[in-house]
Amino acid sequence: MDTNSNHLIVVAGPTAVGKTEIALLIADLYQTSILSCDSRQLYNEMNIGTAKPTDSELKKAPHFFINHLSIYDSYSAGKYETEAINLAEELFLKTNQLILTGGTGLYMNAILNGMDKYPDVDASIVNELEETFQKEGLSNLLLQLEKADPDYHQSVDKNNSRRIIRALSVIKQSGKSFTSFRLGQPKKRNFKPIFILLQRDREELYNRINNRVDKMIENGLESEARALYPFKTLKALQTVGYQEFFDFFDGKYTRIKAIELIKQNSRRYAKRQLTWYRKNNHWNTFHPTNHSDIIDFLQSQNIK
C-alpha cells in the first residue's frame, strides 16, 4: 500500500457551522466515506439533541461511528483511536481519500496523533468519583484535582465532568499525576491529513446555534430527554441538551430557562471548540458557503 497517496480530509469547525454539508460535498466529489469524530453521535439513543445527519444525509455517503454504540456501553477516546485507525487502514485499501468530520477535539486528535497510554482503572474508583459528582457537583472534584495535579487543573476545561473524572481516576489508580502520562508524542500514520476549518462570524454562528436549538425543541428534544431521564447518571448523557432538561425535570428551573441554558451552553461549547482549533496553525479556513473555493483548494493538493 502506498501510504503517501492516502489522504484524510479533515472537515472541522464549531457546532452548527455546517460541517455535514461540506463533508457530503467532498464525499460526493471523491466517492468516499465519512468517519465521524463526534463523541455524542456515537450513541443510538441520542438523536435529536446530538444533531446527527438526517436519514437522507446518511444515505448520500457511507458513514462510520454514527449510531455505533448504546449509552450503556463503556467507551473512550483510546478505544475510538483503535477502532478508527483499523477501519481507516481497511478503507484505504479501496480508496486513497477518506473524510474525517466532527466537533470532538479529543477524538480528532486520537486519529491524527494518537492517544497517550493510560493505566486501566478499576470500576470502583470511577463509580466513587461519579457518585461524588452526582452528590456534590464538580467543585469537590476540582479541589481534588488541583491538589493532586495543579498543572492539569490549570489547563482542563473546568466544565467538562468526564475529563475531570477521567484524570482523577487515573491519579487514584496509579498514584501519579495525570500530567505524567501525557507525553504528547504523535504516532506515525499511513495517511496525510488535509485540514479544512469552517468558520462564520460570531453573530451568524450564534444565530445558527439558537435556531438549531429551537428546531430541536420543535422536533421533540424534551420527549427524547424525558425518555432518557431514568439513565441520566450514565456518562454518555452528561452533555448539553440533555443535562439542562434533566435539571428541569428535577425542578431546578423552568422549561424556558432550560431552553435558554441549552442555547447558552451550546454557544460556550462552540467558543471552546474554536479556542482548541486555534492552538494549531495548519488549518485552511473557509466560509461553509464557499463551495467552489473548498473544491479548488482540494484539487490544488494533488489528491488522487
Which of 11, 71, 21 has the alpha carbon at shortest distance from 46? 71
d(CA 183, CA 205): 35
pLDDT of residue 272: 93
Q: Which residues contact 60 (CB under 8 A, 6 or more apart)?
A: 24, 27, 28
d(CA 60, CA 138): 42
pLDDT of residue 246: 98
Residue-range domains of the chain with CATH: 3-115+185-300 (3.40.50.300), 123-181 (1.10.20.140)
pLDDT of residue 4: 65
pLDDT of residue 179: 87
pLDDT of residue 245: 98
Residue ranges for the chain with pLDDT beneath 50: 1-2
| Residue type for position 67 | N
pLDDT of residue 1: 43
Instruction: Give 86-116 pLDDT, tens digit per residue.
Output: 999 999 999 999 999 999 999 999 999 998 7
